[in-house]
Amino acid sequence: MVNRMKFYIDGAWVDPAGKKTWAVVNPATEEAMYEIAVGSKEDIDKAVAAARRAFATFSRTNRDDRVALLTRIAEAYKKRAKEIATAISDEMGAPMGLAERAQAGAGLGHIMTTIDVLKGYKFEEPLGSATVLREPVGVIGMITPWNWPLNQIACKVAPAIAAGCTMVLKPSEYTPTSALIFAEIMHEAGVPKGVFNLVNGLGPEVGVAVSEHPGIDMISFTGSTRAGIDVAQRAAPTVKRVSQELGGKSPNIILDDADLQKAIAGGVTHCFNNSGQSCNAPTRMMVPHTRMKEAAALAKSVAEQAKPGDPKVDATTMGPVVNKIQWDKIQGLIKKGIDEGATLVTGGLGRPDGLNKGYYVRPTVFADVTNDMTIAREEIFGPVLSIIGYRDETDAVTMANDTPYGLAGYVWSGDVERGRKVARQLRAGNVNLNGVLNDRSAPFGGYKQSGNGREWGRFGLEEYLEVKAIAGFSPA
C-alpha cells in the first residue's frame, strides 16, 4: 500500500513538516480518490541536506557500481509496472493499454537505455597535452509533469544516477502515486540513502523552493514554457544550470508526393495520442492548398474512429484530459477556432456523445486554418488538430518555423531524400520522417521557447556532467 502522507528523504519514509494536503481527482469521474501530503520549504531543506551528504560518497562510486544499481532498479521496476500503469490511468486518464505499453513502458525503456550508455561511456579522454574529465554536476532538483509521469521521472533519474549525481524530485501533484511507487522501487533496489529524495507539493511552494535553493546545483524541469521561465528566473541568482523541456506547437508537413491517406492517418492518430497531452504532438498539419478538402475528409474519417471513454474499458482509445483547468482551456481554444473562422470539420465544444461526466474532449479537427489564428499559435494540449494549407515547399517550411516553439517537426514524403532536405530546414530539436518514432538513444529536446536541454541516451547523461580539463596530466 502506497503511503501518500509521507515523503522519501534520506533513505526513509518521513512525515512532512506541515499538515497541508491535496485532493487527487480521477479525471474520468471528477471524483476525489484520496489525499496526498504536500510539502514546504522545510521539507526541501531536509531533502537537499540529505542529497548533499550523499553526494560526497556517491559521486565517487565507479561505473560498475552504478550499472549494477541501475540494473537492480530496472528489475524492481518490472515487478511494479502494472501497478504504475494503473496509477497513471487513474490519475491522468490514459487508457490502460496506453498506460501499460507506452506510459509505464517508457520509464523502463529509459532505464535500460541508460544502462547501455553507461557501460560504454568515456568519462576521461586525452586532448592535446590535457585530459578532459566528465564529473557529476552535484545535487539535481527535478520537477516533472503529469502528462507522461514515469517517462519524465525515469529519463531524469536514470542518467543522474549514471553520472553520480544525487537528487530531489518534485513530481506533479496531479499524478503522485506512480512517483511514490517509483520511490519504493528505488528503496527496494538499494539506492544509497540520500541519493534519491522525493517531496510532493505544489509549484508555488515546493517548486519555488527547489528552484531557489542554494544547495541545488542544477534544475531539470519539464513543463509549460510559462513555468519554465519562472524556474529559470528563480534559479538565476545562484547561477544554477537549468535544463528545460517545455511546450511545443509542432508542424507536420505533408509534401505533395506523400501517400496522403497514410500521412493523414498517422498524423491524426499521433496528434490525438494521450488525449493530445504531449508536448511534441503534431498539432499543425500542413497540406497543399489544392488538397485541403481531401485532407479534411480523410482527417474527419480518422478522428471519428477514435473511441473516447472509460480508460478501464478495452475498446477505449482516448481517455479524459487531466483536470477541469485543462478542459476549460481546451474548450476556450476550440471556441476561438470557430470564432476566428476556421472550418470545424468534426468535434467541437462539449463532451463526446454519451459522456456526461469526466473531463472528456471531443476529438476535433479544424480545416482552412491560417498560421496566425490562435489555434495555430497556442499550445492547446488536447485532441485538437489544425489543418493549414501551403502554396509550395518553401511556404510550408516558412510557416512551420513561424512559431515561438521548436520541440518537434514531422515530414511525410514519397522521396526520403526530399524529406530529409525539408527536415534539415526545420528549427526543431526532433524531426520524424514518414511516421518513424523517436529513438530512445537519440537526443530529445527543443529549440527556442521549447527549451534548452537534451534528454535520452548519451545526451541525457551529459546533461548531468561537468567538464574539467587537467593540463599536463595523462591517465595511466
What pLDDT, on a 0 to 100 scale, did the predictor assign at position 1? 77
The answer to whether residues 158 and 150 touch, using CB atoms and an 8 Å cutoff, is: no
Express each pLDDT in 67-88 by its tens digit.
999 999 999 999 999 999 999 9
Range 148-177 average pLDDT: 98
The answer to whether residues 126 and 475 touch, using CB atoms and an 8 Å cutoff, is: yes
Q: Where are the beta strands (DSSP E) in 247-403?
A: 251-254, 284-288, 343-346, 364-369, 384-390
Q: Can 393 be counted among the known catalytic residues?
A: no
Q: Can 155 be counted among the known catalytic residues?
A: no
Distance of alpha carbon 214 from alpha carbon 212, whole angstroms: 6
Long-range contacts of 76-80 (CB under 8 A, 24+ apart): 76/185, 76/188, 76/189, 77/107, 77/108, 77/111, 77/182, 77/185, 78/108, 80/181, 80/184, 80/185
Where do the domains of the chain lie, and which CATH numbers do they carry? 7-246+451-471 (3.40.605.10), 251-440 (3.40.309.10)
Catalytic residue (choose from 279, 379, 455, 463):
279
Express each pLDDT in 276-314 by its tens digit.
999 999 999 999 999 999 999 999 999 999 999 999 999
Express each pLDDT in 424-470 by its tens digit.
999 999 999 999 999 999 999 999 999 999 999 999 999 999 999 99
Distance of alpha carbon 108 from alpha carbon 345, whole angstroms: 39
Mean pLDDT of the chain: 97
Cα–Cα nearest to 275, from 378, 365, 360, 400: 360
Express each pLDDT in 31-58 by its tens digit.
999 999 999 999 999 999 999 999 999 9
Catalytic residue (choose from 91, 173, 212, 245):
245
Q: Where are the beta strands (DSSP E) in 190-229?
A: 196-198, 218-222
pLDDT above 80 (res 400): yes
Percentage above 90 pLDDT, the chain: 99
Distance of alpha carbon 262 from alpha carbon 413, whole angstroms: 11
Distance of alpha carbon 89 from alpha carbon 313, whole angstroms: 11
How many other β-carbons are positioned within 10 Å of the β-carbon of residue 75? 13
Distance of alpha carbon 307 from alpha carbon 310, whole angstroms: 10
**Residue 242, C-alpha cell as written in the block:** 537549468
Q: State the DSSP H helix or E strand holding residue 408, giving kind and residue range, or none if neither.
A: strand 408-412
What pLDDT, on a 0 to 100 scale, did the predictor assign at position 473? 66
Distance of alpha carbon 346 from alpha carbon 348, whole angstroms: 7
Cα–Cα nearest to 252, from 240, 236, 267: 267
What pLDDT, on a 0 to 100 scale, did the predictor assign at position 111? 98
Pairing of strands 241-245, 130-136: unpaired
Name the pLDDT band for 361 (thresholds 50, 70, 90): very high
